[in-house]
Amino acid sequence: MKCIKSMITSIIYTMFIILSMNEVCYGQEEPSSDVTPMEKQELEALYSTIQGFVGDSWNGSSLYPDPCGWSPIQGVSCDIFNGFWPELFSLKYLKVLSFFNCFQSPNSLPVSIPTGNWEKLCENLETIEFRSNPGLIGSIPSSFGVLKNLESMVLLENGLSGRIPLEIGKLVKLKRLVLSGNNFSGSVPDNFGGLRDLLILDLSRNSLSGKLPSTFGNMISILKIDVSHNFLEGMLINEFSSLKNLTLLDLRNNRFCCGLVSSLQEMYSLEELVLSNNPLGGDMRNLKWGNLKNLVILELSNMELRGQIPESLFELKKLRFLGLNDNNLTGEIQFSKGFFGKLGRRFGAWSNPKLCVPVALMSSNNVPFGVKPCHQQQEVHLVKANARKQILNGDINMKNNTSNFIPSMGFSTSANSCFSSIFIIFGLLFNLCNLGV
């Protein structure tokens, strides 16, 4: 279809191309003067069809001279087919290639990324993006590995599947690698550790499995790692301690296990640490949380954590969100009223049955939702302890306790002291039984 040729002609001088459904089908590009956006026969057939519905007086050539370009007809759209790939590969000076919302139907009009000819673009192509294309199916071609000058690869929310090719790890100039929202499977390539200039790695929302490669520790420039919503498993790697520039680590919704590793406390630049929905287990007090001075978000919900909440979290002055829900945490939350006030409703700790908040803080509106006050347990234990002490010490003041009680029951105040003692002891034992002593 010549509407593709027209668009390429108008932008080849800038060595930049963006193909989107809006531009190609609804005409954001003006046609060049020497190339007709559609074939003449296509135009005539389209006009004739519409005239058959609305009458011969309808003049399509005057009203809509470019249905695939700047004068779209409502209800008429122009699809992109695989036939345009050869023309793209002829743009040897191309720097940016982006397809946004172009391929919508994985059933009727599926499109795959070509496996060959990428070497024709390897000298100048720096950015390649496929965003929001559910009709883009198949796998990542291993021939992407020839794009030696590529700095950004974004394959976001498409219909791609298969394994991530090892050749991606050879693109040593990559600064951004986003493969999120597809259906990639298999393990994370070990050679990603060779991407020493990489700043952003996003592999989230796929079906990746296996362990995190220890070579991640070689990505010394990395700022953000997101591998959430996969099926990754095993221990967290000790090599995290080498990532001194990392600001975001998101591992939520995987199958990581075996406790919180000490390498986490050595990532001093961390601002967001999200580990929720992993069966990690362990005790929070094993880490020196005070080391993470820049931490703003800490999400540790549903991780089978146990023990008390460490007071060292109070040292995190920049913290603005703390999620500890659905764990097995115990004891009293030893935070100040100011700490509770700073976080407010951004502190969650519900579904920890043995966790409680000091009574003095219960008047505040900022205590964590779903956490009970500590005094409920304290009062019961106090009553039980006092009752045991009275029984053991015989500290029952018979005179004070019976002088007014006996007459009210219809007995004389001079009633037999033995009878009075038995009656009081019986009553005391009854109360102790109710208290569960």
Residues 293 and 420 in one domain: no
Q: pLDDT value at position 296?
A: 98
Residues 308 and 290 in one domain: yes
203: pLDDT confidence band, cut at 50, 70 and 90? very high
Residues 382 and 366 in one domain: no
Instruction: Determine the structural domain holding residue 421 and report its residue range.
Output: 377-434
Decide which of 338, 373, 408 is a domain's last residue. Answer: 373
C-alpha span between 305 and 259 (Å, rounded): 8
Residues 368 and 396 in one domain: no
Q: pLDDT value at position 26?
A: 29
88: pLDDT confidence band, cut at 50, 70 and 90? confident
Q: Does residue 69 lie in a domain region? A: no
Residues 310 and 359 in one domain: yes
Pairs from 263-269 (Cβ < 8 Å, separation ≥ 24): 263/236, 263/237, 263/238, 263/239, 264/236, 264/240, 265/289, 265/291, 265/292, 266/240, 266/241, 266/291, 267/240, 267/241, 267/243, 267/292, 268/244, 268/292, 268/293, 268/294, 269/244, 269/245, 269/294
Residues 307 and 280 in one domain: yes
Q: pLDDT value at position 265?
A: 95
75: pLDDT confidence band, cut at 50, 70 and 90? low
Residues 244 and 117 in one domain: yes
Residues 6 and 107 in one domain: no
Rounded alpha-carbon distances, angstroms, from residue 58 to 27, 43, 105: 22, 14, 32
* pLDDT reading at 33 higher than 50: no
Residues 288 and 327 in one domain: yes
Q: By three-state DSSP, how is residue 360 classified?
A: helix
* pLDDT reading at 301 higher than 50: yes
Q: pLDDT value at position 236?
A: 97
| Per-residue exposure over 268-291, b if at least 16 CB sit within 10 Å of its own CB, e if not | eebbbbbbbbbebebebeebebeb
Q: What is the pLDDT of residues 187-200, one digit of tens each?
A: 999 999 999 999 99
Q: What is the pLDDT of residues 117-132, one digit of tens each?
A: 999 999 999 999 999 9
Whole-model pTM: value is 0.73
Q: Does residue 165 lie in a domain region? A: yes
C-alpha span between 107 and 135 (Å, rounded): 7
114: pLDDT confidence band, cut at 50, 70 and 90? very high
What does pLDDT average to over the chain? 80
Residues 40 and 114 in one domain: no
C-alpha span between 277 and 394 (Å, rounded): 54
